[in-house]
Amino acid sequence: MSENFDMSEKKGICYLVGAGPGDPGLITLRGKACIEMADVVVYDNLSNDEFLSWARPEAERIFAGKKSKCHALHQSEINDLLVEKSKSGKVVVRLKGGDPLVFGRGGEEATALRQAGIDFEFVPGISSAIAAPAYAGIPLTHREHCSQLTIFTGHENPSKPESSMNYAQIAKAPGTKVMLMGVARLGIIMQSIIDEGGDPTTPVALVRMATTGQQKTVTGTLATIDDVVKAADFKAPAVCVIGTVVNCREGLNWFEDKPLSGKRVVVTRTLKQAGKLSSGLRELGADVIEMPTIKVSRCEGDDARRFAHCVAEVHTYDWLIFTSPNAVEYFFEAFDLIREDARAIGGARIAAVGPGTSAKLKEYRMATDLMPKDNLAEGLIEAFREEAGSIENTTMLWVRAKETRDVLSEALDEAGVILDEAIAYQTVPETEDPTGAVKRFREEGADIITFTSSSTVEGFLDMGLDIPDEVSIASIGPVTSKTLSESNYEPDAEAKSHDIPGLIAAVVQLANEAAFDGDDFEA
């Protein structure tokens, strides 16, 4: 740091941040803070996409990783980019998978920055070298097994004239050995270790896509592992662990034992809403594909004017009815804009359909006075009758989506309610593929697909996708199931409680029903 420190001069800096091995929970708090203050994030393809969403919307995001066919940027170009962006006074985050200094070329990038006179900081990350064994249930060191740990690379700098890797030394080193980047040359490397005196029966494990829902582990020995890997069509990226500690996995495997481990589950909600369902499924070990098929947007024109009017007049109603969390959000967003004083909401009582809607109301510090037991709009009339007896001539404002079914308004009309309807938002089909999920679904398929509303079904079909027979369908409730049947798809499971926890339970039930399909390739 310079001695005459001047806060007014904006000096660039580059943080070389370890993103961890994949699970977004395995980045450091410091790493997250750096991303949040970044003007520029330079990332590669081993880090999790979710990290990018932590950057400010206006932050520049630059992909510098290597994809199979196209090399995005060469190392010297990455160095130049980091120097150039930092030099212009920006806060640059160079996000790298695992730890930036464990086979991550962070040292080279830092040297380039130092030579250009630019400040940098290292933010260590959890290397796949330690995370992958942990998530496979393999302790790298263990008092009964070893007291030394060696980490080496199976992929050397191809420009080196001769191999600097001394397999004799590796073969003779006691304790656990961890190899990164060696899947393609696995057979040759294992044989070299055996040739140099390594015991062919030494246990070996390979862990691919560690700490993500796609994690898979295979085990064998120095002599057999290459055949096991080939038979399982096991691909990079993978971490290879060599040593008797691998035997501990039998008793300590935990991550691949979860109820949804190895299951690929599609979530069709809007990107904004996917969170709770996706994280619940991930917690149970699923490989979640977030495929937003609809997006929610504000209304325009007459609908918008009418909505603003109803919000302004909200104090004149006896009851407010909310049938979705979105409705609550759009309503209070408009209410905050129009009214300065929260008391302007008046004395209206609040009815909500679904616990998610009620929970959203709570976020705005609003209690729910009435909620039907079955989470369906149809149950609301019954609930009103039980609560208030006759509802004839009461005034109600129903805050709803443009596409909502008419059953509720018909029933309320019949009961003599003076009903106004405020259209708070509309759902429109998602036409882009913002997460790359459509491509992934087309290429890799899935085990289970979830639908949380009729509009997600319609959005999915509008994208020109169909559901192959081998993919099981989980529906949140009878209305969504009916929409599916009308499109000739029968749900394989329907949630008993029509909410996100209910849907997750239905997915687990489907996963349990599915016959064991040999997902685990233990040798």
Residue of the chain from 12, 24, 31, 104 that contacts ligand SAH (CB under 6 A): 104
Interactions with ligand SAH, residue window 165-184 (CB under 6 A): 180-181
Q: Which CB, 47 or 394, lies closer to ligand SAH?
A: 47
C-alpha 375/C-alpha 389 separation (Å) is: 20
Catalytic member of 11, 32, 66, 258: 66
Question: At residue 320, what are phi and psi to the nearest 5 degrees?
Answer: -110, 135
Q: Which CB, 150 or 497, lies closer to ligand SAH?
A: 150
Q: Which CB, 12 or 106, lies closer to ligand SAH?
A: 106
Q: Judged by CB under 6 A, does residue 236 bind ligand SAH?
A: yes
Residue number of the CB closest to ligand SAH reads 98
Applying CB under 6 A, the span of 61-69, 96-104, 160-168, 508-516 interacting with ligand SAH comes to: 96-104
What residues contact 250, with CB distance under 8 A and at least 6 apart?
A: none
Backbone region of residue 488 per phi and psi (left: phi > 0; alpha: psi in -120 to 50; beta: other values) = left
Catalytic member of 23, 85, 90, 181: 181
- Name the minimum Å distance from CB 79 to ligand SAH: 17
C-alpha 253/C-alpha 239 separation (Å) is: 16
- Name the minimum Å distance from CB 185 to ligand SAH: 11
Applying CB under 6 A, the span of 75-83, 128-136, 249-257, 374-382 interacting with ligand SAH comes to: 128-136
Residue of the chain from 136, 205, 210, 334 that contacts ligand SAH (CB under 6 A): 210
DSSP collapsed to 3 states, 211-270 = CCCCCEEEEEECCCHHHHHHHCCCCCCEEEEECHHHHHHHHHCCHHHCCCCCCEEEECCC
Q: Judged by CB under 6 A, does residue 103 bind ligand SAH?
A: yes
Q: What is the DSSP string of 435-465?
A: TSHHHHHHHH--SEEEE-SHHHHHHHHHTT-
Q: List C-alpha distances in Å: 510 to 106, 176, 240, 494, 506.
A: 45, 39, 33, 10, 6
Q: Judged by CB under 6 A, does residue 209 bind ligand SAH?
A: yes
Calculate Rg over the CA atoms of the chain. 28
Q: Judged by CB under 6 A, does residue 208 bind ligand SAH?
A: yes
- Name the minimum Å distance from CB 253 to ligand SAH: 16
Q: List C-alpha distances in Å: 189 to 11, 200, 257.
A: 47, 12, 30
Q: List C-alpha distances in Å: 352 to 117, 168, 371.
A: 60, 70, 5
Length of the chain: 523
Q: Judged by CB under 6 A, does residue 140 bind ligand SAH?
A: no
Structure tokens at 252: 């300590």
Structure tokens at 173: 């080193």
- Name the minimum Å distance from CB 95 to ligand SAH: 11
Applying CB under 6 A, the span of 31-39, 234-242, 243-251, 512-520 interacting with ligand SAH comes to: 234-242
Q: Judged by CB under 6 A, does residue 511 bind ligand SAH?
A: no
Q: Judged by CB under 6 A, does residue 127 bind ligand SAH?
A: yes
Nearest in space to 497 (alpha carbons), one of 369, 373, 377: 373
Backbone region of residue 433 per phi and psi (left: phi > 0; alpha: psi in -120 to 50; beta: other values) = beta
- Name the minimum Å distance from CB 415 to ligand SAH: 57
Would residue 66 show up in a list of annotated catalytic residues for this protein?
yes
Q: Judged by CB under 6 A, does residue 132 bind ligand SAH?
A: yes
Q: Which CB, 32 or 349, lies closer to ligand SAH?
A: 32
- Name the minimum Å distance from CB 214 to ligand SAH: 9
CA angle in degrees (0–180, nearest 5) for 486-497-265: 65
Q: Judged by CB under 6 A, does residue 99 bind ligand SAH?
A: yes
What residues contact 388, with CB distance under 8 A and at least 6 apart?
A: 394
Bond from prior residue into 200 cis (ω within 30 degrees of 0): no
Would residue 181 show up in a list of annotated catalytic residues for this protein?
yes
Residue of the chain from 12, 22, 220, 280 that contacts ligand SAH (CB under 6 A): 22
Write each residue from 466 to 485 as x if it is in contact with ligand SAH (CB under 6 A), else as -, in one continuous string: --------------------
- Name the minimum Å distance from CB 186 to ligand SAH: 11
Residue of the chain from 47, 48, 86, 128 that contacts ligand SAH (CB under 6 A): 128
Contact at 8 Å (CB) between 105 and 113?
no
- Name the minimum Å distance from CB 156 to ligand SAH: 12
Residue of the chain from 12, 97, 137, 280 that contacts ligand SAH (CB under 6 A): 97
What residues contact 518, with CB distance under 8 A and at least 6 apart?
A: none
Q: Which CB, 20 or 280, lies closer to ligand SAH?
A: 20
Applying CB under 6 A, the span of 7-15, 112-120, 126-134, 410-418 interacting with ligand SAH comes to: 126-134
Residue of the chain from 12, 24, 31, 98 that contacts ligand SAH (CB under 6 A): 98
Q: Which CB, 11 or 155, lies closer to ligand SAH?
A: 155
Residue of the chain from 95, 238, 299, 370 that contacts ligand SAH (CB under 6 A): 238
Interactions with ligand SAH, residue window 407-446 (CB under 6 A): none
Q: Judged by CB under 6 A, does residue 27 bind ligand SAH?
A: no
Pairing of strands 418-429, 448-451: unpaired
Q: List C-alpha distances in Å: 342 to 332, 347, 351, 423, 488.
A: 10, 11, 18, 21, 48
Write out the H or E segment, with its range, that includes residue 330.
helix 325-338
Q: Which residues are catalytic?
A: 44, 66, 181
Residues that bind ligand SAH (CB under 6 A): 21-22, 46, 96-99, 102-104, 127-129, 132, 180-181, 207-211, 236-239
